[in-house]
Amino acid sequence: MNFERIQKKKLKYEQNKHKISPITLSSYEKDFELTFTHNSTAIEGNTLTLMETKVVLEDGVAIGGKELREIYEVINHKKAYGYVKKCIAEKKPIDENIVKDLHAILTENIIVGGIYRNEEVRISGAGFTPPAGNEMYMQIKKFYEDLKIKEKELNTIELAAWTHAEFVRIHPFVDGNGRTGRLIMNYQLLLNGYLPVSVAKENRLEYYNALEQYAVNGDLAVFADFVAELEEVQLDEYMKLM
């Protein structure tokens, strides 16, 4: 990962952002919100297409033949991302309450959210088993303590990658951990002045493998590189508008 190159691009973007038309910027942000919602829910098995997601979110039209759960997943994801942006505007660092709130918004009308699991879970196909019982509670509490330490130790890309990877390794909720993880990854990027990123559903295998490297071997580098590449693509895209 060439963090210095990404940092330079971010600085150049910040210095020239005013040259981009507010209407253009708004349309790009709206498009990202839609794409991010579609990809993040599709990775977890939601079958709505990008166009169907757009119709649900922008026109409020229900899609025939789709489960109600799938409709709520995309509606809730948009709301949760809105909550992220609200917290960023208030310059709030991530804490346990914000993560629980995000999960509660994501799972509204689906399951009772914002409550840590009591039962053991397995992630199908994964080479690790998330902690259970008291061990899980201790690890998730340590996660919030470690956030403050990692903010000083890691660069922004690594911090965003670690926040997501460590959170999904612990898997504190029964469901919705992946969506929550991707939201808090973007939370870290936005809070530090970077652009949010979206993991394309077509790249889910590479994404899962990178997370697995961290969960099994404690190797963050592969996932940090993955996030860095997404960030650089985003910056390049926005810099073309200048």
The pLDDT value recorded for residue 128 is 77
Give the pLDDT confidence score for residue 195 in this predicted structure.
97
Give me the helix-helix angle, 221-239 and 3-16, nearest 10°: 30
Structure tokens at 119: 């039962």
Given this model, what pLDDT does residue 63 score?
Answer: 85
pLDDT of 236 higher than 90: yes
Q: What is the mean pLDDT of the chain?
A: 94
Query: What's the confidence (pLDDT) of residue 208?
Result: 95
Give the separation between CA 202 and CA 15, rounded to whole angstroms: 33
In the annotation, is 18 catalytic? no
- pTM higher than 0.75: yes
How many domains does the chain fold into?
1
For residues 194-207, give the mean pLDDT.
97
12-60 pLDDT, tens digit each:
999 999 999 999 999 999 999 999 999 999 999 999 999 999 999 998 8
- Please name the amino acid found at residue 144: Y
Which CATH number goes with the domain that contains 75? 1.10.3290.10
Calpha distance 175→103 (Å, rounded): 9
pLDDT for residue 59: 84
What are the pLDDT digits (tens) for 158-198? Answer: 999 999 999 999 999 999 999 999 999 999 999 999 999 99
Catalytic residue from among 77, 103, 164, 171: 171
Q: Which domain holds residue 143?
A: 3-239
**132: pLDDT confidence band, cut at 50, 70 and 90?**
confident
Query: Rounded distance, CA 189 to CA 156, Å?
Result: 7
Whether the predicted pLDDT of 62 surpasses 90: no
How far CA 205 is from CA of 14, 84, 128, 168, 200, in Å, comes to 33, 26, 16, 16, 10
Instruction: Give yes or no for residue 124 having a pLDDT over 90.
Output: no
Contact yes or no for 74/57 (Cβ under 8 A)? yes
